[in-house]
Every structure is written in C-alpha cells, then in structure tokens.
Amino acid sequence: MKDRWEHLVGLLGLALFGFGTWHGLVVAPPDIYMGDVQRIMYVHVPTAWAALLTLTFAFFVAIGWLVRGTWRWDALQEASIEVGVVLGALLIAQGSIWARPTWGVWWDWDPRLTTSAVLVLAFAGILALRSFVDDPRRRATWTAVAAIVAYVDVPIVYFSVRWWRSLHQVQSSPDTVDKPMVLALRINAFALLFLATWLVARRYRLARARNRAELADMEAA
Amino acid sequence: MTGMIQGGWEFVQAAYGVSIATLAIYAISMELRLRKEKP
Amino acid sequence: MELLYQCLIVLRKDLLQQWRARARLAAVVAFGLTTLLLFSFANGPDTTMLRLNAAGYLWLALLLSSTLSLGESFRVETQNGALEGLLLLPTDPRAIYYGKALGNLVVLTGLGLALIPVMVALYDVAIPMGVPRLAGVIALGSAGLVAPGTLYAALSTRARGSDVLLPLLLFPLVVPALLSSVKATALILTGDPMNQLASWLGLLTAFNLIYWSLCGLLFGRVVED
C-alpha cells in the first residue's frame, strides 16, 4: 500500500489532537484574564499556523509548477490551496467565536482577522478560477500565477489594516503562560500540522487520479 | 478582583465543535470523492 | 530601450482601440456615475455622512467600473485573436503587459477625474488640498488597481464565466491599494492635520512597485500557455 505513511501521519494527528484537546480543556488552568474562553486558543492558534503553513506551501508549489511543469506539482497546488482555504475558513469561524466573549462583537477589524479573511477569499477565488478553465496546462499555470500574486499580498494587507486601525487600542495579549497551557498549544500545533498533511496528501491523490483521467480523455479525443 | 472573564464555556464548546465538525466533514467528503474516482 | 519602444507601440495601439470603442467607454463612465448616485441612496440624504464617506464611495465606484473597463480592454483582443497575433510577432510579453496596463491606467484615471465634479456636487465636499493633488492620488490608486487587474483580465477573459471571475480574483487582492487610496483621498478632502498623507501614499507606492514588477514578470506565462 502506497498510501500507508499518510494514514499513519493522519492517525498520529488524530491521537495528538485528542490528547491536546483533553489537555487544553481539562488539565490547563483557566487564564487569569481570559478565564475559560482562553481554551479556544488551544485550537485556534494551531489552526492558524496550519492554515498559514499550508498556503505558504502552496506558494512554493506554485513556483515549482512554473519552474518544472510536471503534473505532480499541479496536483499538489490543487491539494494545498483547497486544504488551505478549508483551514482558513475554519480559522475565521473560530476567531469570530473567540471575538464574541472577548471583545463583545462577532467581528473585529483586527489585522490578523481581516488578513485571514482576505487571504481565504483570494485563494477561494483561485479555486473558482480552476473550475472555469478547461485546458489543464493553462489551468495549472494560471493557478500558479494567481497563487503567487495572492500570497505576496498577505504582508501588505496585514500592514495596511494595522495602519488603518492604528487609532484603536492594541489588543492586549496575556503573556502569563503556564506550563500546561504551553503544552496544550504545542501538542495541538503538531496535531493540526499532521492532520493538514494527511488532508493535503489525500487531496493530492484525488487530484492525481482526476488529472490522469482528464489527460486520458484528451488523448482519446 | 482580577477582571477574569467568567463563564464562556458555550463559546469554547462552539469553537471545538466547529473545528471537529469541519475537519470530520471535509475528511469524509475527501474519502468519498477518492472512492468514486477509484474504480 | 527596445522594451520601452515596444511598450509604447502597444500603448498607442491600445489607446487607439479604446478611442474607437468610445461608445463602450461612455457606458463605463455612465456606470461609474450611476454607482456614485446609488451610494447616496444607500446612505440617505444626510449630508454630513455623505461628506464623510465621499472618498470611500468614489473609490468603490472606481473599483466597480474598473472591472468593466479592464474586461473590455481584453475582450477586443480575444475576440479577433489579436493577442495571439501580437505574440506571433517578436514582441516581449512584458511590453504587451506594460502597454496594456498603461492604457488601462489612462482610462481609469480619466474616469476618476470625470467623477470628481460629480462627487463634489452630489456629496457636497470641498477639496482643501487642491484638485492636482487629488488627481495625483487618483492616478496612483488607479495604478494600484490596474497592475493586478490587467494580469487578471488577461486570464479571466479567456476563461468561462469571465464576468464573475475578474472581480472574484481582483477584489480581495486590491484591499491594501483600496484602503490606502480611500485614506489618502479622505485626507485630501478633509485636510491633513496629523500629516498622515505621506505614509498612505508610501504604502500605495510600495503596492504599485511590487505589483507592477511582479505582474510584468508573470504576464508572459499567462499569455504563452
């Protein structure tokens, strides 16, 4: 079985996520300021890291396609962009749930929140682009170009939103971090990383299978 | 008085619920799509 | 030098083409004016609010119109296979990109200038820092919209569902350009006691530098495949 390693990684991620969540919800003490709401962070921050890493990966894969031009790179583009968008959408939902008890609103124009929304929309647009282009080679190149252009935007969006909001107060981030808290955060960071790897690997296999079928169809036509 | 936010467990549950549901649904849809692709 | 020369030829061809299709351009201007008018209905007849939001409305009108003008500029090229023809000549694709982008910049800046008097009339704004400075900000902000817009228009007009695709790709991307243009324009309309204008213009310039060079590099890959 070729896909055994990825299931191993996926199971490891699942186990770690279970352990980390138990740690975050039960073992870790409530935060001095944030109380129990702080526990959202044990899933929110790891999701943010995983989403950003997946989309960063997509950026390098896009360069990979432009340089090498083999179908593996395109399948990897499709996989990492889709998983990145799903994780990003999840990230925004978590952020919104966190904002409500903390800042009293469902949405806040916080630079990180706004940047992730822009990022998710930009990459979701690229997924739409993929579905609108029929020629596979053209689709792959256009995806790569759009992914590079969108990724470069991330730091610019972040800084522009930060300046835009500079009249508002800066969010206080509690820096009193207890040992069980750090542990829960670390475990879940690896858990989400492994789960994301599994998702990308599975999505890659799906993209490869579809790509092969598509190329065979074109060959036959 | 430390100013600690009281309660809020429902938000914690919602955040973890959304996370687990999203990941689970996406994973299941992926396996279904893969199964359809493989004859 | 050769690149500059080719770029100017493409620009001239583009402007000529836009001029020939001036009926369509007039439609884009009418569209921009309509959106400006509609924003005042969304707000209600509260003059203070309108004056406060004037900069934002102006830029939203420009952004919405830009999707029309950008799409138009490439639709002509794809309809009669002119782009393929250009690529057959020994033209540097970068020259095509910069020529087209400059053509779009001229059109969009012209549209922005045409909207100024209407904005002044509808929203009752004053321009304490002067029209030349406002025109400069409009040109710089339009350049920010046009740089990725030209690249995306080149690909979306050759895909299915191009009408929905261009805004879908472009809008999230230009958030920093839009934000800094709106801020800079608002400062010009209301005065700049804190000297913030320079930093917004700096951000806008940085956005322009990054995207004018990056999109020029990538454009070749988009049209060759």
Q: What is the CA radius of gyration of chain C?
A: 18
Whether the Cβ atoms of residue A133 and residue C165 lie closer than 8 Å to each other: no
3-state secondary structure A84-125: HHHHHHHHHHHHHHHHHHHHCCCCCCCHHHHHHHHHHHHHHH
- CA A111 to chain B, closest CA, distance in angstroms equals 20
On whether the CB atoms of residues C195 and C179 are closer than 8 A, the answer is no
pLDDT at position A165 over 90: no
Report pLDDT for A168: 42
Instruction: Give the pLDDT confidence score for residue A36 in this predicted structure.
Output: 84
Residue B11, C-beta contacts closer than 8 angstroms, at least 6 positions apart: A37, A40, A97, A98, A100, A101
pLDDT of residue A169: 42
A: neighbours with 3+ CB pairs under 8 Å? B, C
Please provide the size of chain A in residues: 221
Cβ–Cβ below 8 Å for A25 and B16: yes
Percent of chain A past pLDDT 70, that is, above it, reads 93
Q: Per residue of chain C (225 residues), give pLDDT as tens.
A: 788 888 888 889 888 888 888 888 899 999 999 999 998 888 877 888 888 889 999 999 999 999 999 988 888 777 777 777 777 777 788 888 999 999 999 999 999 999 999 999 888 888 888 889 999 999 999 999 999 999 999 988 888 877 889 999 999 999 999 999 999 999 999 887 777 888 899 999 999 999 999 999 999 898 876
Mean pLDDT to the nearest integer, B19-32: 94
Residue of chain B whose alpha carbon sits nearest to that of A94: B15
Instruction: Please provide residue A175's backbone torsions phi and psi, each rounded to the nearest 5 degrees.
Output: -105, 5
- Can you tell me the distance from the alpha carbon of C199 to that of A92, in angstroms, rounded to the nearest whole number? 29
Provide the 8-state DSSP code for A146. Answer: H
Alpha-carbon distance of A182 to A38, in angstroms, equals 12
> C170 to chain A: nearest residue by CA?
A122
Residues of chain B neighbouring A199 (CB-CB closer than 8 A): 26-27, 30
- Is A62 part of the contact surface with chain B (CB cutoff 8 Å)? no
Tell me whether residues A122 and C169 touch, CB distance under 8 A: yes
In a 13 Å sphere around the CA of A84, the CA atoms on its Cβ side amount to: 30
Chain C contact set for A118 (CB, 8 A): 172, 175
Q: What pLDDT score was predicted for residue A172?
A: 46
Structure tokens, A187: 């475990």
In angstroms, what separates the C-alpha of B2 from chain A's closest C-alpha? 7
- State how far the Cα of B39 lies from the Cα of A110, in Å rounded to an integer: 48
Checking if the pLDDT of A51 tops 80, the result is: yes
Q: What is the ipTM of this complex?
A: 0.89
pLDDT of residue A37: 84
Separation between Cα atoms, residue A171 and residue C106, nearest integer Å? 42
C199 touches chain A (CB under 8 A): yes
- Tell me the pLDDT band of B1, cut-offs 50, 70 and 90: very low
CB C223 within 8 A of CB C78: no
Burial C15-49, CB ≥16 within 10 A → b, else e: eeebeeeeeebeebbebbbebbeebbeeeeeeeee
pLDDT of residue B24: 95
Query: What was the pLDDT predicted at A117?
Result: 93
Chain C positions touching A156 (Cβ under 8 A) are: 176, 203, 206-207, 210
Interface of A with C in 157-216 (CB under 8 A): 157, 159-161, 163-164
